[in-house]
């Protein structure tokens, strides 16, 4: 079940956190994974870890805000794999804390360029090959902020709503040609980024309680729990799933 053997996948923002967990899980299931990461050192660490575990991975240094760079990476993947890129995971993303009143235009533009235009650039680059082959799975990493408003996350909520809109629009347009597009919407996930944020607070344990409290399961997710869903959406077993907003939120949105 959920074998990815023979598939080629690109995972953005896969130097750490959710992206790294997805890259690891894809490789464990037999995929050749292109670790598309802006930070070369962290991307190489993911590649080395996958190879040490017996998987196949290649590094692709990528800033998703650069359209030409996105095209070049996808073209490289296609040229190295007989025109195939079976799976694209748009995971790269950034956040911002603030309401509309303390979110500057530059803040909103930064999040838009990474969280939305990055997905747009890569989808535009890979879709012609997927359409030609009448096959492909695009997995966008959204958030609970894709389906609800979040306090003091003005720019983040806007952009993650847009990621879900992008997902649904593409699913409508591409279903007839065999390309599936889905969105995974995690709650709070215990990534290195979140752990670093915790250490910035005078009382990390108290802040951790605040982060955990809205989840019915009373904990944050582990990156591997998000990766498990990505494996499903990348696999042939999800062949009748497209346009989905798949919540992995520990009950955060229950009752909302």
Residue 90 CA, chain-centre distance (Å), reads 4
Distance CA 98, CA 15 (A): 26
Q: Nearest 5°: phi and psi at 255?
A: 85, -5
Strand partners, 58: 34
Kindly give the residue spans of alpha helices, DSSP state H, lying in the chain. Answer: 17-28, 40-52, 67-80, 105-111, 118-133, 154-174, 192-199, 204-212, 223-234
Q: What's residue 194's pLDDT?
A: 85
Distance CA 13, CA 30 (A): 20
Distance CA 128, CA 71 (A): 12
Q: Nearest 5°: phi and psi at 148?
A: -155, 160
Active site residues: 156
pLDDT tens for the chain, 256 residues long, are 899 999 999 999 999 999 999 999 999 999 999 999 999 999 999 999 999 999 999 999 999 999 999 999 999 999 999 999 999 999 999 999 999 999 999 999 999 999 999 999 999 999 999 999 999 999 999 999 999 999 999 999 999 999 999 999 999 999 999 999 999 999 999 998 888 878 888 898 998 999 999 999 999 999 999 999 999 999 999 999 999 999 999 999 997 7
All domains in the chain, ordered by first residue: 8-186+224-245 (3.40.50.720), 190-220 (no CATH)
Q: What's residue 197's pLDDT?
A: 79
């Amino acid at each position: 079940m959920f074998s990815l053997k023979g598939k080629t996948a690109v995972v953005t923002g896969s130097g750490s956190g959710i992206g790294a967990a997805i890259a690891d899980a894809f490789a464990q299931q037999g995929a050749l994974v292109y670790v598309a990461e802006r930070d070369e050192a962290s991307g190489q660490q993911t590649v080395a870890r996958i190879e040490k575990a017996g998987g196949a991975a290649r590094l692709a240094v990528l800033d998703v805000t650069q359209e030409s760079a996105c095209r070049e990476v996808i073209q490289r993947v296609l040229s190295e794999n007989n025109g195939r890129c079976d799976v694209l995971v748009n995971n790269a993303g950034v956040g911002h804390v603030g309401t509309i009143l303390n979110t500057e235009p530059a803040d909103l533009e930064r999040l838009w360029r990474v969280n939305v235009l990055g997905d747009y650039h890569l989808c535009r680059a890979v879709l012609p090959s997927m359409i030609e082959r009448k096959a492909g799975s695009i997995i966008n990493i959204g958030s609970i902020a894709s389906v609800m408003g979040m306090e003091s996350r003005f720019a983040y909520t806007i952009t993650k709503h847009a990621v879900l809109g992008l997902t649904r629009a593409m699913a409508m347009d591409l279903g007839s040609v065999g390309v599936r597009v889905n969105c995974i919407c995690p709650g709070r996930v215990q990534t290195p980024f979140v752990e670093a944020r915790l250490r910035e607070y005078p009382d990390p344990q108290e802040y951790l309680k605040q982060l955990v409290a809205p989840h019915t399961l009373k904990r944050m997710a582990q990156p591997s729990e998000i990766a498990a869903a990505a494996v499903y959406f990348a696999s042939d077993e999800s062949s009748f799933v497209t346009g989905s907003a798949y919540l992995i939120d520990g009950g955060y949105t229950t009752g909302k």
